[in-house]
Chain A
Amino acid sequence: MTAISSDFPSAPALPKWIAPVLLLAFAYGVVPLIGSSYLFEAILLPFLALSLAGVGLNILTGYAGQVSLGSAAFMAAGAFAAYNFNLRVEGLPLIGSIVLAGLAAAAIGIVFGLPSLRLRGFYLAVSTLAAQFFVQWALTKFSWFSNDSASGVIDAPRLSIAGFALDGAIGRYLFALTIVAILTFLAHRLVSSQTGRNFIAIRDNETAARIIGIPVLKTKLLAFAISSFIIGVAGVIWAFAYLRTVEPAGFDLDRSFQILFIIIIGGLASMRGAFFGAALIVVFPLALSRLGGFLLGDLFDSGVLDMSQRIVLGALIILFLILEPDGLVALWDRVRRRLLFAWQST
């Protein structure tokens, strides 16, 4: 009965929390010392924001099985809500704005999650497009959201926690890292709780879930709310820590697809998958532009870069869907087991 699992020796009995703790220690202790400003501004900050958005979407799509194409709308809702709470509520600390922004995004997520009670799969995905278009339209149409700024582009407030300014690249990196680490830990706890089991049960067999007494409607809306909360906070990081400006156009349908690709390539229903996918999505265009510039010189301008980026990314997604539907995480686990096996047999 255990034939399948005994093909490979099990990993040495290290506790599961060792790897994340070592990684966090490295991220807090070593990276700020050796990282260049380019590494923080162009790679790590977008990586952290997109990873968190991926974690959020993974709860909804990977675990609870509800496809959504509205992630960027929830990011936008979070970013604009945080901006407005910060602007209009006197004396509200930054953390307060962020939590309220997440709650605002969660409320919008529940509203646009209502169709999930009747629609499934492809049809639900199309209905979540409504969120995408509506939120972007509302933020552009009503200039109150952007404090009547003429261009619709607003500057993010200065980041500070308890009077401690986090203005530099390193400060913003630590700010983002802390939020991402906390929310990812809580999300990890969530998916291994009974609520997380309910999510998976509804994804795998909704009828059976209803019959054994799982509150299907409530659980679906809860998945939308929690997912949107996390994606909303990711939007705050994206706007406040990474771009330092907020504009609706930055949260378009392309961004929604990008987050969906992150979890498909990284691995559905896996916390690590969001980070793997986000790393690939962030690093890949930079690597491609370096490589293109190196091979083709001046011929490789930004137009060609943009086009080749889309082509290669599209091909990658098709390849992943065919060859490794479980994503980079599954690939990584397999490689690691092989290496371990080879190492143990020598």
Chain B
Amino acid sequence: MSREITYAEAVREAMAQAMDADDRVFLMGEDIGVYGGAFGVTNGMIDRFGPSRIRDTPISENGTVGVGVGAALLGMRPVIEMQFSDFVANAMDPLVNQAAKIHFMFGGQLCVPLVVRLPAGGGTGAAAQHSQSQEAWFVHVPGLKVAMPATPADAKGLLLAAIADDNPVVFVEHKLLYRVRGDVPEAAEPLPFGQGVVRRQGRDVTVVATSLMVHKALEAAERLQEQGTSVEVFDPRTLVPLDAAGITASVMKTGRLVVVHEAVERGGFGAEIAAVVSGGEAFSYLQAPIRRVAARNTPIPYSPGLEAAVIPSVDDIVAAVAATVSGG
């Protein structure tokens, strides 16, 4: 059975069901208790699970994630919310140098079943320190898994899988997705990592998009359809592990690839996808250069007009796809 709920509700439901099922699961974060979190994701959870499992933390991400790593090492399954994904910069040492590596440094005797949720992305007028898309930072750290669900159902299923995973998982939630509604199964059904999904079937070009950009890509595809261009939209859902086979199969079908993400272009995950495609079986099927649509290489401006210019728009995707299909 499923019903339509918001992305935020889906995330909340996943956490609540995981907590119901497993006493070891608990939440930490800034203002997640009575306040319900900066984006309301944990609304009401403290009433149900109490302050020992819904733990408000000081404004010290380094400390919070460090505590989470310790708790995980001792057998708990903490889920930590960064109030804004940007703040995870403060927690890089426990996350990158501890959580990601302990399993490997101790010969597999220990694991760190930690989830760090990152409300990410711009478009909110929140400027440079509250708008970033940092997924590439974590993709580059072996030992971390990275999920970027684009729909409420994926958010629930992948978060359940992340909490059940014995590895540390960075879970990226775009802030503008929280109010997006969609059908979500009521049951606690985890979704496998490393399995992308074709959001829209197409013939002429593959658009691989992540998170919020999946929706922009679908809108662009709709518009391009009117112009006679058939766009396939592929959502990898998790970046680590990545469904390289799914992307490759799609590109071998269409012969063209446009990668769309909200993170800045330089060093972004789009380059990784492009390399996976051009370095693999799909190479010989490419009919045009691979294009990336990504944020300009600049901090997100506060000015709404400038912010809109920096972040990829539907128009940007339409233009890039049109240029790619015309062989440019």
Tell whether A and B belong to one assembly.
no
